[in-house]
Amino acid sequence: MKPSTRSASIADRLGFGRFGQRGTAGASIPAQVAFEDVHVDYGVTRALDGVSLVVEPGELVCLLGHSGCGKTTLLRVASGIETPTAGRVMLDGREVSGQAAFVPPEARGIGLMFQDYALFPHMTILENVLFGLKSLPKADALASATRALSRVGLERLSGEHPHVLSGGEQQRVALARAIAPRPGVLLMDEPFSNLDRRLRDTIREETVAILRETGATTIVVTHDPEEAMRIADRIVLMRAGRVVQEGPAEAIYRRPADLFAARFFCDFNEVEGVVRRGAVETPIGRFPAPGLAEGEGAIVCVRPQAIRLRAPGFCLPGRIVARRFLGEVDLVHVAVQGLDAPLQGRCRDGLRAGEGQDVGVDVDPAEVLVFATHRH
């Protein structure tokens, strides 16, 4: 692709339009973003199927979900790069996409950051950051760009081109470019997924600290539940173009709305059973089943950390079929009579029984969830 064409397409992706019209010298004032029953159809594909969501000023929300569930489309709708088929988007109570109005991306005061960083390859780092500040007087633009670069610790690389930078440095340039115009809203699409594991935790923490400092309302797309739990004030879990559940990390983890939401956050042992006299009967015991009817089929979801090993003769009889040392915990597979597959436990300490040995298996009821089978 020729540089000029490529620049134009990057500029479009960033919501700057071809000539980079955004830019403000004022402080970042966080905005409220509200989606009202937003639908997006691509031909026969329904990418968004009635999303309603309010992101409060200064809040950091993670959109979490499997590939293709509509996360990126929701960001594109917020930025104005995509128009909804139905429904509307409001910024601070003002309609920016809908039947009544359409505010173009460059006039929304929204910053964008992508997984691939979308840096202009033929421009220096400073020019990349200046690109979104073209409507400011030159001296103000330079001051804002330099401030943003120094905030991410990269002022010394201002004159370099993106290709000489490491992945982590490129990520920080993209962040500097996104925050330099002090947007009220920042939209980030998988901003950490191109970093290697070693760097990711540090850069993620630094980025969140910078976001808190700028105060911008931030929506981050991720498919990694742990990442969402680490950074989000609120997680919005999506499936097939809809919001399945939203709330703080602990609430979703402890009280998932359904089996799908539960599975997203934990690799459960799933054991089927039937409700008898108010509890699910399974080969590993009886578990309370509030809200389920007598005779109804149920799935008992046992977290790996719920499995505790005891001396043989105590609790449920089992036999270790595999044991792997993982550092902080041991991964243990234990066969129990009546189950097709061994239970998988993550055991911190306790009995040091090895492969082939008989054990007692204790299941912590606090780490068990029960769902009706037919409702999924």
Is the CB of 70 or the CB of 162 nearer to ligand ATP? 70
Burial of 368 (0-12, 13-18, 19+ CB in 10 A): buried
Q: How would you label 284-309 residue by residue, b for 16+ Cβ within 10 Å and e otherwise?
A: bbbbebeebeeebebbbbbbbebbbb
Is the CB of 68 or the CB of 365 nearer to ligand ATP? 68
Least distance from ligand ATP to the Cβ atom of residue 47, Å: 3
With the C-alpha atoms ordered 142, 144, 147, 152, is the resulting torsion angle positive or negative?
A: negative
Is the separation of the CB atoms in 168 and 196 below 8 Å? no
Is the separation of the CB atoms in 272 and 101 below 8 Å? no
Least distance from ligand ATP to the Cβ atom of residue 189, Å: 7
Closest CA to 343 of 361, 325, 327: 361
Closest CA to 33 of 2, 79, 72: 79
Least distance from ligand ATP to the Cβ atom of residue 45, Å: 5
Least distance from ligand ATP to the Cβ atom of residue 162, Å: 23
Rounded distance, CA 372 to CA 234, Å?
Answer: 27
Angle between helices 197-214 and 167-179 (to 10 degrees): 10
Q: Which parts of this chain interact with ligand ATP (CB under 6 A)?
A: 42, 45, 47, 65, 67-73, 223
Least distance from ligand ATP to the Cβ atom of residue 49, Å: 10
Please, how many CA atoms are within 13 Å of residue 31, restricted to the half-sphere of its CB?
24
Is the separation of the CB atoms in 363 and 289 below 8 Å? no
Is the CB of 46 or the CB of 134 nearer to ligand ATP? 46
Is the separation of the CB atoms in 97 and 34 below 8 Å? no
Is the CB of 70 or the CB of 84 nearer to ligand ATP? 70
Is the CB of 45 or the CB of 52 nearer to ligand ATP? 45
Is the CB of 71 or the CB of 88 nearer to ligand ATP? 71
Least distance from ligand ATP to the Cβ atom of residue 70, Å: 4
Tokens (6 digits) for 140: 């103000």
Least distance from ligand ATP to the Cβ atom of residue 106, Å: 21
Burial of 170 (0-12, 13-18, 19+ CB in 10 A): buried
Is the CB of 38 or the CB of 186 nearer to ligand ATP? 38
Is the CB of 41 or the CB of 56 nearer to ligand ATP? 41
Rounded distance, CA 260 to CA 6, Å?
Answer: 40
Rounded distance, CA 99 to CA 117, Å?
Answer: 32
Least distance from ligand ATP to the Cβ atom of residue 72, Å: 3
